[in-house]
Amino acid sequence: MRALRGERPDVAPVWFMRQAGRSLPEYRALRSRGTMIEACLDPALASEITLQPVRRHGVDAAIFFSDIVVPLALIGIDVEIAAGRGPVFSHPLRTAADIAKAVEIDPALVRERGEVIVDAVARTTDMLAEEAAGRGEPLPLIGFAGAPFTLAAYLVEGGPSKDHLAARRLIHDDPAAWRALTAWLAEVTGQFLALQVSAGASAAQLFDSWAGALAPAVYRESVLPASAAALRAVRELAVPAGSGIDRVPLIHFGVGTGELLADMASLDIDAIGVDYRVRLDDAVGRIGRDLTVQGNLDPALLFAPEPVRTAAVHDILAAGTAARAHVFNLGHGVPMDADPDAIGAVVRTVHEWRMP
């Protein structure tokens, strides 16, 4: 939390995107039945899964176990997460009429039907407090949600895509429909992010997994306003009296967004995630603002020999000194076939490193 606010602790903090889930055998044992969305909406299961990597790897923060499409499921959109594929929608939003019908759904339903999310966050923060007492240091929970562009890309295509052509086409073919869709999604996903924070998450991250498919000018014109609106939902929350903070730290991350870093950094955020394609010291030069950086080990290096992996971690930590503060992470999520022992070894390497 101190690093997200711009301080530089003696020991670099570390957590991993997708640290909770499929790479862990204890997760696979828990998830032997039911669907992914059912697991996300089961408070006892979601909280236990969230804690698993904290216990196993010794990371410095938990990321709430959920999925970016959960708020859409909460408001009645028919979606399933297909194994090996990802989110699949039974009724893609292919036309302006489809979009007009969808945006009639009230985003406030996320909060009205989100009791299970509140319960899961409360359980998780209680469990983290117990774990932190044993460690003698706080363990924050990071909430998360998908950015409007990434959600729109799935909705318009009906599922995953290699090039997100359907979304990119809609931006140019029907700008009014695109604006209506992303403005609505900003409310939906913003409500989901705010729900987690109001229930007890200490920080939050907005994921824009597919924004890297866009040209910078298109991103600025057709995506950035909706991302700003989603983050605004958290900024508008009242910070609890006596909490000792004046704002909840917000992180924004996108895949393949090296050319968009300055635009992403223009949002009201405290930290920016950098994927593995850009060195952190280069990213600092592109960002143009005094932000904390997060990242950015290539997930492929989890499979590398120990000396190679350790050298890469040291290089990233050194590059991260160019920023006001650095939160170590991967440059994308933990691969499902990654060795948990390698993940734990990265955590130890980060914690043992000291700034030269």
Chain centroid to Cα 226, Å, comes to: 16
How do residues 340-355 score in pLDDT, each as one tens digit?
999 999 999 999 999 8
How do residues 283-318 score in pLDDT, each as one tens digit?
999 999 999 999 999 999 999 999 999 999 999 999
In Å, what is the CA distance from 120 to each residue of 167, 190, 276? 33, 18, 31
**For residues 262 and 286, is the Cβ–Cβ distance under 8 A?**
yes
pLDDT exceeds 80 at position 274: yes
**For residues 64 and 45, is the Cβ–Cβ distance under 8 A?**
no
Tell me the average pLDDT of the chain.
Answer: 95
Calculate mean pLDDT across residues 247-271: 97
Start-end of H helices in the chain: 25-30, 36-40, 43-57, 70-74, 96-102, 109-112, 115-135, 148-157, 165-173, 175-199, 216-222, 224-235, 261-265, 280-287, 306-320, 340-352
Query: Which band of pLDDT confidence, cut at 50, 70 and 90, is reported for residue 243?
Result: low
294 DSSP β-pair partners: 273, 327
- Give the burial string for 62-96 (b: 16+ CB within 10 Å, else e): bbbbbbbbbbbbbbebebbbeeeebbbbeeebeeb
Percent of the chain scoring above 70 in pLDDT: 99
How do residues 10-39 score in pLDDT, each as one tens digit?
999 999 999 998 899 999 998 877 899 999
Q: Is residue 265 helix, strand or coil?
A: helix
- DSSP 8-state class, residue 258: G
Query: Which domains are seen in the chain, by residue range?
Result: 25-352 (3.20.20.210)
Which are the catalytic amino acids?
18, 22, 31, 67, 154
Distance, in Å, from the CA atom of 176 to the CA atom of 184, rounded to the nearest integer, reads: 12
pLDDT exceeds 80 at position 244: no
pLDDT of residue 245: 72
pLDDT of residue 241: 60
How do residues 36-85 score in pLDDT, each as one tens digit?
999 999 999 999 999 999 999 999 999 999 999 999 999 999 999 988 78
How do residues 85-115 score in pLDDT, each as one tens digit?
889 999 999 999 999 999 999 999 999 999 9
Calculate mean pLDDT across residues 178-186: 98
How do residues 197-241 score in pLDDT, each as one tens digit?
999 999 999 999 999 999 999 999 999 999 999 999 999 997 766
- Global pTM value: 0.96
Closest residue by Cα to residue 155 from 175, 174, 178: 178
In Å, what is the CA distance from 292 to each residue of 3, 8, 63, 326? 7, 9, 18, 6
Q: Is residue 296 helix, strand or coil?
A: strand
